Structure 1
Amino acid sequence: MQNVNLYQRERRQQGGPRPRQLLLGACVLALALASHAAWQGWNLKQRASDRQLAEAQAVSAEAQLAAFKANYREPTLDTRLPAQLAEREAENRQLQRLATHLRALDGQLRSGFAPVLTALADRHPPRGLWLTRIRLQAGGSDMLLRGLSQDQELLPLYLESLGRSKTLQGREFGSFDLQRDDSGLLAFRLASRAAEEGDDE
């Protein structure tokens, strides 16, 4: 018969970290805390530097603003400006009128004297009045007409007929002379400007 010993001494298992692992973990934690503290310190230092820079910029801006306010002068309206503006506007209107007149003269010079002569021929009465002299200058804008009329009533009708012509319409005459000559005819002189010495030469 064999004896079986059923009683065995139970061994207790050792658990938990070993001292070496605890030391290593403590070193890692201390290193992490030191790194975090260094980063926080650098961050705080950087923020303090930024704040000092911002404060310096604010002080400089306030100094510039104070200097600008000290040198600022409220603008005042020059009393001469309205008169100068009115003078310039008058000059501009005069230049516009001159430009319009020059364009009209240019158009007349380009077209020549033919339209004016054609209008004079078309409006000439069949009898009792005739032209003895026609002078056209400045593209036809300066015109002188000299002639004779047998009847004093023909001349107003002739002038009215000239005024209805499209070419001569709106033309202004600055001089009109009417005299009876030795033969009993009415001698007339019609000019676009007042008579001057040497006009009929």
Structure 2
Amino acid sequence: MQNINLYQHEQRDEGGPRPRSLLLGLLLLSLLLGLHAAWQGWRSYQAAEAAQTARQQAAQAQQQLDAVKANYREPVLDPALPARVTARESENRQLQRMADYLRDLDLQRRGGFVAYLLALADRHPPSGLWLTRIHLLDGGSELALYGLSQNQELFPLYLESLGRSEVFRGRQFARFEILRDQRDLLEFRLASRQAGEGRDE
């Protein structure tokens, strides 16, 4: 009789990573750690370069500031400045008055002599005095009035009435002549300029 051995010795498959897979995993991890370390080193290098540049710029700015401070001089008020300012303001006021006068004169010349003639008509006395001749020159700056009167007391009243007029306000007559003619009338002349000064009206 023959014996048959049905028992076979089987080798167990042990669990866990194989040595080759473990080695590959370690290599991959080492590579990743190396790349991360290199990236961190590059960032640190860039940060150090930026910090160095900032320190250099700050040092240059501080040098410029020190140079400006060294050359700075506290402004000192010129003691003669207020007097010069006052003189300039006075000159400006005079120029302004002259400009106003020239503007008024230009307006008078462009407006003709209508305003003067209207004022003479409005201020003329109702009786006893009348004008025989009127001279208006240079836009009214030169004025001469010729006339006759029966009563010498009318002259100051007439002059006062003219002085209340806007056109003749402030005007001063430099020449005032009164003569009695053959008709026993008073012949008068009012002039804004003395005889011999410029044109004779």
TM-score (norm 2): 0.80
CA contact (8 A) 2:163 2:171 kept: no
Amino acid corresponding to residue 173 of structure 1 in structure 2: Q
C-alpha change, 1:174 and 1:84, in structure 2 (3 Å) is farther
Moved more, 147-156 or 25-34: 147-156
Inter-partner Cα distance in structure 2 for 1:126 and 1:56: 99
C-alpha change, 1:77 and 1:174, in structure 2 (3 Å) is farther
Match in the other structure for 1:96: 96
Match in the other structure for 2:44: 44
Spell out the pairing of 1:187-198 with structure 2 (5 A cutoff): 187-197=187-197
CA contact (8 A) 1:178 1:186 kept: no
Amino acid corresponding to residue 157 of structure 2 in structure 1: L
CA contact (8 A) 1:173 1:190 kept: no
1:62-107 CA distance string (max 9 Å, x none)? 2212211111111111223212222221222122212222222222
TM-aligned CA deviation for residue 30 of structure 1: 0.5
TM-aligned CA deviation for residue 197 of structure 1: 3.5
Moved more, 133-142 or 189-198: 189-198
State the identity %: 60
TM-aligned CA deviation for residue 116 of structure 1: 1.4
Match in the other structure for 1:4: none
TM-aligned CA deviation for residue 176 of structure 1: 4.2
Inter-partner Cα distance in structure 2 for 1:67 and 1:166: 68
Spell out the pairing of 1:1-201 with structure 2 (5 A cutoff): 12-168=12-168, 170-181=169-180, 183=182, 185-197=185-197, 199-201=199-201
TM-aligned CA deviation for residue 165 of structure 1: 3.7
Moved more, 101-110 or 175-184: 175-184
TM-aligned CA deviation for residue 109 of structure 1: 1.6
Amino acid corresponding to residue 148 of structure 1 in structure 2: L
User: Structure 2: which 5+ runs fail to align?
Assistant: 1-6
C-alpha change, 1:164 and 1:71, in structure 2 (3 Å) is closer
CA contact (8 A) 2:175 2:193 kept: no
Inter-partner Cα distance in structure 1 for 2:91 and 2:136: 31
Amino acid corresponding to residue 53 of structure 1 in structure 2: T
CA contact (8 A) 1:129 1:147 kept: yes
Moved more, 181-190 or 96-105: 181-190
TM-score (norm 1): 0.80
Q: Secondary structure at the match of 1:148?
A: strand
Inter-partner Cα distance in structure 1 for 2:28 and 2:192: 116
Q: Secondary structure at the match of 2:78?
A: coil
TM-aligned CA deviation for residue 200 of structure 1: 2.7
Q: Secondary structure at the match of 1:124?
A: coil
Q: Secondary structure at the match of 1:130?
A: strand
TM-aligned CA deviation for residue 194 of structure 1: 4.7
Inter-partner Cα distance in structure 2 for 1:103 and 1:19: 113
TM-aligned CA deviation for residue 153 of structure 1: 0.8
Match in the other structure for 1:3: none
